[in-house]
Amino acid sequence: MEGRLTMSYRELEDGFLVTLALIVSSQLLVILISLISNQFRRQRKLSITNQPPVESVIDGNQITIYTYGMDFYHALLRDITQAKDIICIESFIWKDDAVGQQIKELLAKKAREGVTVYVVFDAFANLVVPRPFKQFSPDIHLYRYRAWQRFLDLFDPRRLARDHRKLAIIDRTISYVGGFNIGELYGRKWRDTHVRIEGSSSHNLFAAFADFWNAQAHKLPKLKTERASLSPYIRPYVNNPQRILFPIRSMYIEAIDLAKEHIFLTTPYFVPDRVVLSALIDAADRGVQVSLLVPERSNHLLADWLARTYFTDCLKRGIRIYLYQGAMIHAKTATVDGKWTTIGTANLDRLSLFGNHEINVEFFSEEVATHMEGMFEYDLKACRELSLDEWNRRPMTQKLGELVLSPLWPFL
């Protein structure tokens, strides 16, 4: 009897392992087929049209919003050129192309002139960038961020975070934050959003850079933090995985829960956790117009597949989904009721909301919200709306692929 029970447990264990192997192999097969099919997808016909920068004034701060990368880079280069004291640049990706080289060379020039220059980029995200390009002038304080420093860090979830922030501060009075990485691809062929802040609120963004630098770059000169008084109109939110603090997610949930009229969301990767998804569905249920704008085809095929696992629930509950055509839209923005806006680096996915170092800024300004809603409406010209009827008629193979891949959402 005891032997038969032992055998049954062994058989149960074997059956579990076989089932697990089948699930994993199915996921890998779907991913492989998707990657192969992606190679045969038609080349996008780019449809980026330049929206000019828009300006506002909030609480004494000059606000400029950029949706075309070359406009943003031009403004950044101008401000770096005019810097007198300190420059801080943080970028998730820094390409070794004409744009990347121009910014790198200008930073070296300013460092030789006596301006203190701090540079941070994510080492893992830039693995494919040639090593010589990642060698900066010795006059520049350079930190190549690595998520883990030692083997044991691999077993600490707090140490697996990437530095996904895109931040620049010039002389503590001018700051930039948003979705643009550094590179010509992003400047000319992607649709993204960045904001420039000139005024006292930039001190708080400088403090966010200094806090990160001082906590991570242990062997390099420390930065003295200098914060402005907290503004009720402009407020940065900073995810800090080491301290297990993820206020950007809470910011989104609170804004969604308070919405009464409409919510406009733009994100390149839509893989929300259940609480965020429930907040959006609850808003739609109480009559709020919820509009979600995502790329029809992003630069991450697996993220596209996972995003589609949420479309059925969204469409059934009245959330309108718009698919951006012809180019990659990488903006991470939202507006609520024409009063509240956020622009930043965090996507609506698990990695951004619960994993990576991120920074978003929220604005309480009807003028900024009006500008952002105008940009959203403009982007809709390059979109097609996905209907529930069309979605229900998608191929069975796609539905099976979504089912197989849906357990992978915690990893994106």
* Higher per-residue confidence, 368 vs 150: 368
125-162 pLDDT, tens digit per residue, is 999 999 999 999 999 999 999 987 665 656 556 667 89
Average pLDDT of the segment spanning 222-249 = 90
Co-location of 261 and 222 in the same domain? no
CA angle 169, 172, 174 (to 5 degrees): 55
**370 in a structural domain:** yes
- Domain limits for position 187: 54-230
Co-location of 216 and 266 in the same domain? no
300-326 pLDDT, tens digit per residue, is 888 888 888 899 999 999 999 999 998
Co-location of 267 and 296 in the same domain? yes
Query: What pLDDT score was predicted for residue 219?
Result: 85
Total count of domains within the chain: 2
267-291 pLDDT, tens digit per residue, is 999 999 999 999 999 999 999 999 9
Co-location of 225 and 248 in the same domain? no
**pTM, entire model:** 0.87
In the predicted model, what is the mean pLDDT of the chain? 87
Alpha carbon 207 to chain centroid, angstroms: 21
Q: Any idea what the CATH number is for the domain that residue 161 is in?
A: 3.30.870.10
**Sign of the C-alpha dihedral computed for residues 121, 124, 128 and 134 taken in this order:** positive
Average pLDDT of the segment spanning 66-95 = 98
CB 239 within 8 A of CB 208: no
In angstroms, rounded to a whole number, what is the distance separating the alpha carbons of residues 345 and 332? 6
* Higher per-residue confidence, 42 vs 90: 90
* Higher per-residue confidence, 2 vs 63: 63
Query: What pLDDT score was predicted for residue 21?
Result: 42
**59 in a structural domain:** yes
Query: Domain boundary at 204, 230, 256, which?
Result: 230
**7 in a structural domain:** no
Burial label for 289, CB within 10 Å (0-12, 13-18, 19+), is middle
Co-location of 207 and 292 in the same domain? no
Average pLDDT of the segment spanning 60-83 = 98
**299 in a structural domain:** yes
